[in-house]
Amino acid sequence: MESYTKILVLRNEVEAHLMEQALTSQGIPHLVRSYHDSAYNGLFQTQKGWGHIEAPADRKEEIKAIYQEVVGS
């Protein structure tokens, strides 16, 4: 399996869903990781963001460009 690295932090579940759809439709290998921890009732999500996207390092710029198009900020 290819090595994945943290590419960008997602602010909320809507961004996560939109990026999941966009990356999947373009065939880009990725993982969406949530920072939610049921033991702390999502405490870390308010401090660190909703979660992040992991993918091969060589796809970083492509994923960031897609994020700008999909999320727009």
d(CA 37, CA 68): 28
Q: Is 56 in a helix, a strand, or coil?
A: coil
Count Cβ atoms below 10 Å from residue 50 Cβ, excluding itself. Answer: 21
Return the SS3 of 11: coil
Q: Is the pTM of this model over 0.85?
A: no
Whole-angstrom Cα Rg for the chain: 12
Summarised one tens digit per residue, pLDDT across range 18-33 is: 999 999 999 999 999 9
State how far the Cα of 37 lies from the Cα of 54, in Å rounded to an integer.
Answer: 18
pLDDT computed for residue 42 by the predictor? 55
Four-residue CA torsion sign, 53, 8, 63, 71: positive
In the chain, where are the structural domains located? Answer: 5-70
